[in-house]
């Protein structure tokens, strides 16, 4: 059991029979009255997000999320096929279960497949990936505006905001958690 006073970002727990994950939390101690925890909680199965106020003494069952290293092989329409790197078994996963996490993953990339009570609900890609820019506008010489960005399409089809000096064919490092450009690779 875990109390609401112990909430941390990324913590998974069961609430009202649903699997939930803490996205953001804040411990509040007002001048008058009892302390409370304000948290943004995401229902992992449905994807819905809700903000709730918790009593710090409320207890919840900590959820056990199974993680397996699997290699992304290919997709066949709505199904994406992953291979367990230990047993070499292939498992098809529906596109609706994967969400946006797949937009930075190339074929043969290893990811963590997340399951709850044997049911797959998502994947966790590596924190940083290196992808090639396949489409972007050319940067103009002398255009040195601070912090100026332009859209770029990478080899997986995802769109990323990049600095003006990035060109087609450049390999860039992307943070998969935020979808932001980090540096040229």
Looking at the fold, whether 6 and 58 belong to one and the same domain comes out as yes
Q: What is the CATH number of the domain that holds 87?
A: 2.40.50.140
Q: Contact at 8 Å (CB) between 4 and 60?
A: yes
| Alpha carbon separation from 86 to 83, 110, 113 (Å, rounded) | 9, 12, 13
Looking at the fold, whether 107 and 141 belong to one and the same domain comes out as no
Looking at the fold, whether 58 and 7 belong to one and the same domain comes out as yes
- Report the domain count for the chain: 3
Q: What is the CATH number of the domain that holds 6?
A: 2.30.30.30
Looking at the fold, whether 8 and 31 belong to one and the same domain comes out as yes
Looking at the fold, whether 117 and 132 belong to one and the same domain comes out as no
CA distance linking residue 183 with residue 73, whole number of Å: 27
Residue 70: pLDDT band (50, 70, 90) is: very high
Looking at the fold, whether 135 and 84 belong to one and the same domain comes out as no
Tell me the residue range of the domain where 175 lies: 128-184
| 91-137 confidence digits (pLDDT tens) | 888 887 777 778 888 888 999 988 888 888 778 888 899 999 999 98
């Amino acid at each position: 059991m875990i109390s609401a006073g112990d909430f941390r970002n990324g913590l998974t727990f069961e609430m009202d029979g649903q699997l939930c994950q803490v996205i953001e939390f804040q411990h509040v101690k007002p001048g008058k009255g009892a302390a409370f925890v304000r948290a943004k909680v995401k229902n992992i199965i449905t994807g819905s997000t809700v903000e709730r106020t918790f009593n710090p003494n409320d207890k919840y069952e900590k959820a056990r999320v199974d993680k397996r290293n699997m290699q992304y092989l290919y997709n066949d329409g709505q199904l994406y096929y992953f291979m367990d790197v230990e047993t070499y078994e292939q498992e098809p996963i529906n596109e609706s279960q994967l969400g946006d996490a797949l937009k930075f993953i190339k074929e043969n990339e290893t990811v963590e497949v997340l399951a709850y009570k044997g049911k797959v609900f998502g994947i966790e890609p590596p924190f940083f990936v290196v992808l090639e820019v396949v489409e972007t506008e050319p940067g103009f010489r002398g255009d040195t505006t601070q912090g100026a960005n332009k859209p770029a399409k990478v080899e997986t089809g995802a769109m990323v905001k990049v600095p003006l000096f990035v060109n087609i064919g450049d390999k860039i490092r992307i943070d998969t958690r935020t979808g932001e450009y980090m540096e040229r690779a």
